[in-house]
Amino acid sequence: MNKQSFYDLLTRYESGNCTESEKLWLDQWYGLLGDKNISNLSSAELDEMKDNAWLKLKQNTQQPKKRNTLKLIWVKTAIAASVIIAFIISGIYVFSDHAESSFMNDNSDLTLISKTNETSKPIIISLNDNSEVTLQPKSNIIYPKVFAANNRKVYLKGDAFFSITKNAKRPFYVYNNKLIVRVLGTSFFVKQSLKNLPAEVAVRTGKVQVNENTCNDIINLPGEKIAIPVLLTPNQKGLFKAHNIKTTLVEKPIPLAEAYNIKNSINYNFKEENLKAIFKTLTDAYGIEIKSYNEEILAYTFTGDLSKKGLYEQLDLLCGSISSKYQIEGTSIVVSNKN
């Protein structure tokens, strides 16, 4: 059985046009599939699994029939349920790379290169527009040998950091199985969606737009919920899960001067400075809004050197000096009283 025949069988099952024996066979086939991906199986492997499934089915039918009527009904019900589960889960395996296939089809006129990092350390891949991709271990990227005239598109499986050259006439797109990231010139990190963990885009410099990749859905129903696109700026990240992109802050924000590799002109050594002014200094330094709705907090003063400390450590010292607390609300940081 080749892959197309298998797809045809799934289609006939969905439409109710397959035989009872085919339904039973599909149940046995799923048991043999395990954690294998149908997309990676050869026709010979499919044939072998087909034969093993029929053999297992035959052995089961030759077992002595010592079942009462109630047990027989239960078994039929269990088989029917397992066939449905087999179809659903097998469909996930079959179509898990649908977004990738869509990308390949849309760029079939280009010479595409597929590169997998098979080492234990990140590797750097240079693209023909002088952009660079730092590909993490076990990750894969598909990219054109030469980009198209009006855009630059790549497909990522896994995690990577991108440093993109600016070209307003040729926007850069990163696709994965959940998201589409559109940039003009920036650096950012893309992390693939894993089990129980959301897909992630974190921005270091510039600005990116993040959209849900609907090409990963085999069937798009009318009115089906689709994530609202979001814009991300430095030190912000988007988390995609359940057709929603949540915006928040990265785990370790860095000053914009460091991100853009320019001279730092901000002085973090404060002397009797009120917190309102200090919050503005940190906001300018990191590109993150830091605020308080409490005028009393903003009027407090602070003396100390916050140099060579991360943002959250700086905030810990500030809040500790006035017995307050801070929390992340979306892409902002709000300081308030502890009580």
Tens of pLDDT, residues 79-124:
444 433 333 333 433 444 578 888 988 899 999 999 999 999 999 9
Instruction: Count Cα neighbours of 57 within 13 Å in the Cβ-side half-sphere.
Output: 20
- What pLDDT shows up at residue 318? 96
Helices marked H in the chain: 3-14, 20-33, 43-61, 69-95, 98-106, 256-259, 275-286, 295-299, 311-321
Distances (CA, A) of 243 to 53, 190, 208, 227: 37, 17, 19, 5
- What pLDDT shows up at residue 87? 37
Question: What's the token pair of residue 40?
Answer: 């990676």
Q: pLDDT per residue over 188-224, tens digit each?
A: 999 887 767 889 999 999 999 999 998 765 444 445 6
The mean predicted confidence, pLDDT, of the chain is 80
Mention every residue, 6+ apart, whose C-beta is less than 8 A from residue 328.
248, 249
Report the distance separating Cα 2 and Cα 273, nearest Å: 73
Report the distance separating Cα 84 and Cα 4, nearest Å: 20
How far is CA 301 from its chain centroid? 43
Q: pLDDT per residue over 216-275, tens digit each?
A: 654 444 456 789 999 999 999 999 988 899 999 999 999 999 999 998 889 999 999 999
Tell me how crowded residue 44 is: count the other CB atoms within 10 A of its CB: 9
Q: pLDDT per residue over 115-156, tens digit each?
A: 999 999 999 999 999 999 999 999 999 999 999 999 999 999
Q: Check whether 69 has a pLDDT greater than 60.
A: no
Q: Check whether 11 has a pLDDT greater than 80.
A: no
- The residue whose two tokens read 């010479």 is 111
* Inter-residue contact 213 to 99 (CB < 8 Å): yes
Q: What is the DSSP string of 149-197?
A: SS-EEEEEES-EEEE----TTS-EEEE-SSEEEEESS-EEEEE--BTTB
For residue 56, what is the DSSP state?
A: H
Report the distance separating Cα 48 and Cα 308, nearest Å: 62
For 26-35, what is the mean pLDDT?
53
- What pLDDT shows up at residue 2? 47
What domains are defined for the chain? 3-96 (no CATH), 99-249 (2.60.120.1440), 256-337 (3.55.50.30)
- What pLDDT shows up at residue 92? 39
Q: Check whether 298 has a pLDDT greater than 60.
A: yes
* Inter-residue contact 123 to 135 (CB < 8 Å): yes
